[in-house]
Amino acid sequence: MPNSTQFKNKNVLITGGSGSFGRAFAKYLVENTDAKKVIILSRDEWKQWEMKQSDPAFSHPKMRYFLGDVRDKDRLIRAFNEVHFVVHAAALKQVPAAEYNPTEFIQTNIIGAMNVIDAAITTRVEQVLALSTDKAVNPINLYGATKLCSDKLFVAANAYVGAIKKPRMSVVRYGNVSESRGSIIPFWKKLLAEGVESLPLTDPRMTRFWITLDQAVEFVAQCFNEMRSGEIFVPKIPSLKITDLAEALAPGFPTKICGIRDGEKLHELMISSDDARHTIEMGNHYVIIPEAVTHDLNALAQFLDGREAHFMPEGSSYTSNTNSDWLSVDQLRKLIKAK
């Protein structure tokens, strides 16, 4: 686990806190830190009730449950009162749904992001980390476009905080989380339990990055400790072939090619060649620095603050199909069984 002392006696609020990541991060805070309060903000009272009943950690005295929608800025201002850290995990995410309901995704993912920023500035929250997605890089669907816009908003918002320099706002970007709600493994497991004759496979060429929920939680906690302001954090994680994932889950089981979905990519892209020009490599992750910082040597030196870093090679990118780290079928099988 990363250093968790930054949460000592702090109040931490998670928007979309009753979702997969929110639950995992809340449990981490309760069990591994000395956070004063852990506040779940979400719009579904039933999910909050289910969450509270599902694990003793979620009924801990430091847990709080706050009904609210990121579309409601006044409610956010009330919720952010006396909050030190905010994790912005609330979003509409289903790619096909976005194509048919674009205004709803814009209201939550873009206007909601603006409301989180405004509320955080108004209440002088100390730090805000917004969760992003690989789909925000060179987006080909509306969901990705809304998340790209959200990322830009959080990066640019640091110019509006004033002389107090609070809050500091940054972004964490990673791909699909293994076994999270709506991901491929739970879907395939459900089909196998129902007795299907073959597993649907979109395209045998498809590759994806692999990150577990626990790894995502640890990385976000690490980023809170490292963030300056305006950067986008990208973890170094292994890739997999979708065919290997199917073989690991159901060895020898037939598959059926169903075709790639509208708005879906063959490979995940987390750092584009354009972003690589102002991306540095730091240990177990990359950091996409605001372009204005990279163009100013004094600002860059202040940003690095003595930390050793290396810029990515010009024209390079970070994609799931060109990754140097791959998971084998045996490794995938062990990871799936460990869940």
Residues taking part in catalysis: 135
Q: Which residues pair with 210 in a beta bridge?
A: none
Type of residue numbered 9: N
Long-range contact list for 134-140, CB < 8 A, 24+ apart?
Answer: 134/173, 134/174, 134/175, 134/176, 134/209, 134/268, 134/269, 134/270, 135/95, 135/265, 136/173, 137/173, 137/269, 137/270, 137/271, 137/272, 137/275, 138/269, 138/272, 140/263, 140/265
Tokens of 28: 């981490």
C-alpha 155/C-alpha 171 separation (Å) is 7
Taking the CB of residue 103, how many other CB atoms lie within 10 A of it?
8
Gyration radius of the chain's alpha carbons: 20
Dihedral angle sign, alpha carbons of residues 87, 102, 275, 181: positive
Which DSSP symbol is given to 106? I
